[in-house]
């Protein structure tokens, strides 16, 4: 609100009426400086009270642009009053000498509104500057994320690729620039190959960093490969990944399916950590869900990951999907969506065919990855 030191400019022709108005305004909290033209008023005037007879019609806009202005008149039918109001004056009052309290309240309110308007203008300017800075940082972050995705893609295996007669195909689509989904398929020796399928919690850079860690660890695991330990190899990998995630302290966990293919015996050794949905094994027209369960990787210390195994026919197709696929299937419950996924897999012969069967929007709600392993009859 205005205080006793607030200076009000009064524009009016000299005379008893102007003196009376000055006393009327100055009897409150204001100091009054009377003048015949705006040029005679100092810049520290908080508001101007201007009589229509003291300002030329063409000068109202310039006056209103310089100070908040209240126009006064003796009659509502004054054409100059309408001209002043149209020029953007904050308020007007007819017969001011008979309404001193109203005039002072108009002045107080107008000064307060002007102060708030200036604050809002400064806030808008500050927000515009912050928004420009934010856009700049977002553009830099977007470039960093795009570069990170290019690097992450380089860590993925070729698609398709064939090892010992087994072919791997996959499709990976991040919901953002970087993905928390990851997979790999590598040769262990002349008899065995190793693969894993991972969905890291969350999205973006922090989840993608875990996939880089996993790639490093898997390369290290394969340098320590011993064929006599093929059965327990997946479970030991999950145990080490669990320990590494807990030691990093980044608050990330993952669902993992890891397997070792015995190309000589046509057998799959595998272990898993909370994989959802479980892999589907397709042999001819028969589709079954691999059995097993295990704790998520990276949540609990000192957990044991199970060891499972199953025989594979000469021609098979193993389907692995991240849980993002469940968002693209019809059904209100998990069981309904899993049945829908099984039905779609039964009619598909490739990852691309399954992708075409899904309802994919412009923006994915989650990272989405699909992978198949098929063989052993590929050249």
Q: Which two tokens stand for residue 374?
A: 């098929």
Domains 6-121 and 156-375 share a fold: no
Mean local confidence (pLDDT), 59-75: 85
Confidence class for position 258, pLDDT limits 50, 70, 90: very high
Give the architecture-level CATH label for domain 156-375: 4-Layer Sandwich (3.60)
**Measured distance CA(194)–CA(75) in Å, rounded:** 95
Q: Is the pLDDT of residue 1 over 50?
A: no
Report in angstroms the alpha-carbon separations of 2 from 5, 22, 115.
Answer: 8, 17, 10
Q: What is the pLDDT of residue 259?
A: 98
Q: What average pLDDT is seen over the chain?
A: 90
Q: Is the pLDDT of residue 291 over 90?
A: yes
**Which is the CATH superfamily of the domain at 6-121?**
Response regulator (3.40.50.2300)
CA-based angle 253:169:312, to the nearest 5? 85
Q: What is the pLDDT of residue 29?
A: 81
Mean local confidence (pLDDT), 220-225: 94
Distance of CA 123 to the CA centre of its chain: 24
Helix then strand then coil, in percent of the chain rounded to 5, is 40, 25, 35
Query: What is the model's pTM?
Result: 0.71
Among 96-110, 158-172, 193-207, name the one with the lowest average pLDDT: 96-110
Confidence class for position 77, pLDDT limits 50, 70, 90: low
Q: Where are the domains of the chain?
A: 6-121, 156-375
Confidence class for position 81, pLDDT limits 50, 70, 90: low
Mean local confidence (pLDDT), 235-264: 96
């Amino acid at each position: 609100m205005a205080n006793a030191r607030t200076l009000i400019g009064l524009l009016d022709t000299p005379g008893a009426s102007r003196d009376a108005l000055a006393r009327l305004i100055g009897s409150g909290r204001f100091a009054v400086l009377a003048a015949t033209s705006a040029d005679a008023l100092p810049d520290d005037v908080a508001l101007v009270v201007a009589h229509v007879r003291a300002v030329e019609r063409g000068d109202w806009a310039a006056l209103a642009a310089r100070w908040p202005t209240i126009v006064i008149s003796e009659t509502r039918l004054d054409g100059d009053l309408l001209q002043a109001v149209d020029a953007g004056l904050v308020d007007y009052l007819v017969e001011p000498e008979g309404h001193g309290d109203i005039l002072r309240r108009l002045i107080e309110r107008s000064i307060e509104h002007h102060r708030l308007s200036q604050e809002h203008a400064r806030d808008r300017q500050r927000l515009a500057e912050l928004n420009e800075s934010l856009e700049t940082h977002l553009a830099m972050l977007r470039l960093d994320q795009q570069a990170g995705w290019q690097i992450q893609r380089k860590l993925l295996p070729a698609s398709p690729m064939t090892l010992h007669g087994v072919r791997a195909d996959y499709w990976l689509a991040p919901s953002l620039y970087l993905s928390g989904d990851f997979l790999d398929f590598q040769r262990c020796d002349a008899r065995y190959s190793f693969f894993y399928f991972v969905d890291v919690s969350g999205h973006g850079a922090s989840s993608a960093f875990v996939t880089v860690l996993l790639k490093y660890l898997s390369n290290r695991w394969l340098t320590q490969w011993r064929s006599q330990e093929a059965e327990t190899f997946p479970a030991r990998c999950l145990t080490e990944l669990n320990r590494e995630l807990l030691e990093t302290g980044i608050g990330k966990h993952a669902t993992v399916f890891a397997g070792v293919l015995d190309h000589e015996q046509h057998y799959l050794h595998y272990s898993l950590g909370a994989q959802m949905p479980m892999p589907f094994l397709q042999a001819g027209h028969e589709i079954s869900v691999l059995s097993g369960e295990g704790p998520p990787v990276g949540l609990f210390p000192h957990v044991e990951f199970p060891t499972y195994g199953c025989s594979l026919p000469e021609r098979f197709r193993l389907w692995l999907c991240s849980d993002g696929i469940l968002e693209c299937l019809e059904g209100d419950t998990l069981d309904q969506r899993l049945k829908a996924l099984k039905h779609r897999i039964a009619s598909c012969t490739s990852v691309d065919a399954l992708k075409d069967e899904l309802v994919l929007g412009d923006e994915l709600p989650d990272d989405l990855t699909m992978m198949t392993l098929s063989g052993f009859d590929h050249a």
